[in-house]
Amino acid sequence: MDRRWVARPGVRQTVQVTWDGQTGHERERLTSAPSAPGAPTGATEAPPGVARTRVVVHGRVQGVWFRDSCQREARNCGVSGWVRNREDGTVEAVFEGSPTAVGRLVAWCRTGPPTARVDATEVSEEPPVGESGGFAIR
């Protein structure tokens, strides 16, 4: 199960996403709760039509062309951002673009290229920052 945290002034919303690998469907459940006292409330709403999502992929995902394949998929979808290997053996990617295209890339990350073995993904939504310049491997 992935948890997506969406910042809204005064409210913390959690979208719990369960991925069904057999049918390829996501099940979402939205819950809201008031933010804790002193929690940051300065997040801004995303501009219409732009989404930004960070994905951390666990499993056998380094040394299997995951980053190169991710870059190719992102460019094909017209999404900006970046992907990198992390020291803990995971791969981290940030996608920014249309919600549909970003959603496609998040779904792709759940399987990755044929040589990868994805055990888990962590998915979190972030406020868009106007990522430009295409999609980079870091």
- Active-site residues, by number, are 67, 85
Q: Phi and psi dihedrals of 51, rounded to 5?
A: -125, 150
Element (H, E) at 69: helix 66-77
* Residue 70: DSSP 8-state: H
DSSP states of 72-91 = HHHHHHT-EEEEEE-TTS-E
Say which residues have a Cβ less than 8 Å from residue 60's Cβ, sequence separation at least 6: 116, 117
